[in-house]
Amino acid sequence: MAEGRSTELADEVADGQAVELVYRPKPADTLVGLRVRERIKRTGLLLRGVFLTLFTGVHLLGTVRRGTIEPVSTALFLFVVLFVWGYPRIQAAHVQRIVGWQGEYRTTVSPAGITCSTDHSTLIQKWSVLQGYRETRGHFVLLSRDPNIMCLEVLPKQGLSTPDDADRLRAVLDRHTTRV
């Protein structure tokens, strides 16, 4: 069955109906996907902004009330600011540990859906799984339909074999899902 499926995908790529990408995932790719998800959901940005505002207010009120800057309070404040700023990077590094060991990814985007293969696994997703995609300067980020957008597929443009493949990939995505 898998052999028949791979022959079918090869035929679609040869016919120009499908686009193939070959790449190794990088933390920077994952970070782009996480940022896109955060912009679309907006709740993460809102929560981080509220949290930082409240924490800054508590720190400033405490400093004004005491009349002096406490080193422990200031160190804790700086730690929280750095943690909130760095959290997406921590997530990207964690995702890299999960997917990076699988090596090279071969992804085919076709009218049937998206097939992503490594030496260790194959994932086939139908278009109904996706709510849409967003294009960035160097990536196409595909977003899952679930309310929390827990699954992302980040397709780096550097994985395309020719610059014309970006236009073909965009056309396939536009035919089968929406831009968000």
Q: Provide the residue type at 35 as one letter.
A: R
Q: Which stretches of 9-163 are assigned E, i.e. beta strand?
A: 19-23, 105-110, 113-117, 122-125, 130-135, 139-144, 152-156
Quote the pLDDT of residue 126.
95
CA 132 centroid distance within chain: 13
Dist CA 36 CA 138 (whole Å)? 12
Quote the pLDDT of residue 52.
80
Quote the pLDDT of residue 46.
79
Order across the sheet with 19-23: list the strands: 19-23, 105-110, 113-117, 122-125
Per-residue pLDDT of the chain (180 residues; tens, 9 = 90+): 455 555 555 555 545 689 999 999 999 999 999 999 988 887 777 777 887 888 788 778 878 888 887 777 778 878 888 888 888 899 999 999 988 899 999 999 999 999 999 999 999 999 999 999 999 999 999 999 988 888 899 999 999 999 899 999 999 999 999 999
- In terms of Cα–Cα distance, which of 102, 94, 107, 78 is closest to 34? 94
Quote the pLDDT of residue 122.
94
Hey, how many other C-beta atoms are within 10 angstroms of the C-beta on 145? 12
Query: Which pair of structure tokens corresponds to residue 2?
Result: 């898998």
In SS3 terms, 69-85 reads as CCHHHHHHHHHHHHHHH
**In contact, 73 and 63? CB cutoff 8 Å:** yes
Phi-psi region of 42 (alpha: psi -120 to 50; beta: other; left: phi over 0): left
Quote the pLDDT of residue 92.
92
